[in-house]
Structure 1
Amino acid sequence: MIIIKLLQAIFLLMLGLTLPALANDKKIIMLGDSLTAGYGLPADWALPVKLNDYLQKTFPNIVVINQGLSGDTSGGGAARIGESLSQQPDGLILALGANDALRGLPPSLMRDNLSKIIEAHLAKNIPVFLVGARAPNNWGPSYGAEFDQVFTDLANQHDLPFYPFLLEGVALDPELNQGDMMHPNQKGVAEIMSRMGPAILEFVRAL
């Protein structure tokens, strides 16, 4: 039976035809900053690549597209909405905000930018998985509380699957970070995957 299907596939390809997409074909975009882009890591250790490997154990034909841009803020991500939508993804993993915090940008501005990204994708029936960030302590507790609340509020407002902190269990651990103590090393990426991977798998199952 397998041989027959293979011969059918070869025949269709010879005719210039394509096989119907398998039911588990999915395209996921991860929109983020240097933490998504894989700053300081070998290309095959960028978070979207490892996420792709992880998800392919269940969905062999899934593709996770790396739309991480080093230094990007929520405003930069909002400016890239068209780029994301043009690829017609089945889902979006939104992981922006870390650079907003590092620069001390107003949380209200981040809220507006993230809302634009979320609403633009939901309007096209593209589900969104929201990944949160945390503000450094140097901006004070008031800023940190307001910043963190943005992600919780957006997740609740739009009923989004939500992972509160991308670097949970990794942040400030010298064993899991590069020399700058801001970007995960390979061990750090593996730790992120072990913690966040199952939640994203459930997100993909629901697509």
Structure 2
Amino acid sequence: MGSVLSGVGRFAYGARRGIRNLATVALLLSGTQAIAEPITLAALGDSLTQGYGLPQEDGFVPNLEAWLRAQGADVAVMNAGVSGDTTAGGLARVGWTLTPEVDAMIVALGGNDLLRGIDPAASRANLDGILREASGRGLPVLLIGLPAPGNYGPDFQRDFNAMYPELAETYDALYVENFLGPLTEGDQAQALREDMQEDGIHPNANGVDKIVAALGPVVMQLVERAR
């Protein structure tokens, strides 16, 4: 079943690219200059995406957009992060988040599911619904996870951690294991001092810079898929 859905996803956004290319050729043949529009990415997430506790310009989304543009990509990144949102909240609003101009989506949800101890089966079903919606619209996706701690037990940890890579494979999505990965490698005490806000949960401006630098190259792959 996974391979079938994966093939459908690739066909859908492959066909979408083909239609765009045909439209561009038609404009050139007619003597009309084609004006390329920027690629629009929707970043669907929670407070980590939204930029909780930071001035707007220091948040994840504006910094990611600036990083991509510095690499020469004509990209606009839409901030669809809502503080406190769960995977259920993301599923409830994905339909109206994916407006006609959206070309691809970043999905970074699950942290609040962890904080609330929500059954991984429910979180998985919600993420599946989000990815199915994007696939149905022919949109490529980057899925970004968070690792579960062991305090809910080994079964919870196993099921939660497995859902991200398995869903990414099913829907042929790009995948990053840990949104906060760049801050959790090495000296944890130093990371808390230098890269995190006082709550120990959300990155500060320095931490956002490190996250963007690590995620940026993968997001560039997403941009290429959306062309």
The alignment's TM-score, normalised by the length of structure 2, stands at 0.78
Counterpart for residue 206 of structure 1: 225
Query: Aligned Cα RMSD in Å?
Result: 1.6
Counterpart for residue 127 of structure 2: 114
How far did residue 156 of structure 1 move? 1.2
Counterpart for residue 35 of structure 2: 21
Counterpart for residue 148 of structure 1: 161
Tell me if the contact between 1:101 and 1:134 (Cα under 8 Å) persists in the aligned partners: no
How far did residue 101 of structure 1 move? 0.8
Counterpart for residue 170 of structure 2: 157
Distance of 2:217 and 2:41 partners within structure 1: 15
**Does residue 180 of structure 2 align to residue 167 of structure 1?**
yes
Secondary structure at 1:94 match in 2:
strand
Counterpart for residue 195 of structure 2: 176
Higher relative contact order (CA 8 A, sep 6+): 2
How far did residue 84 of structure 1 move? 1.3
Q: Out of 130, 150, 155, which is 1:137 matched to? A: 150
Runs of 4+ in 1 over 3 A off after TM superposition: 58-61
Code of the aligned partner of 1:91: A
Tell me if the contact between 1:33 and 1:71 (Cα under 8 Å) persists in the aligned partners: yes
Q: 1:49-68 counterparts in 2 under 5 A?
A: 49-59=62-72, 61-68=74-81
Distance of 2:133 and 2:72 partners within structure 1: 26
Distance of 1:21 and 1:81 partners within structure 2: 29
Counterpart for residue 37 of structure 1: 50
Distance of 2:164 and 2:181 partners within structure 1: 15
- Give the number of equivalent residue pairs: 188
After the TM superposition, which of the residue ranges 84-93 and 52-61 deviates more from structure 2?
52-61
Secondary structure at 2:106 match in 1:
strand
**Does residue 82 of structure 2 align to residue 69 of structure 1?**
yes
The alignment's TM-score, normalised by the length of structure 1, stands at 0.86
Identical aligned pairs, as a percentage? 36
Tell me if the contact between 1:95 and 1:131 (Cα under 8 Å) persists in the aligned partners: yes
Counterpart for residue 99 of structure 1: 112
Distance of 2:225 and 2:92 partners within structure 1: 28
Q: Out of 111, 115, 126, which is 2:139 matched to? A: 126
Give unmatched runs, 5+ long, in structure 1: 1-18
Secondary structure at 1:29 match in 2:
strand
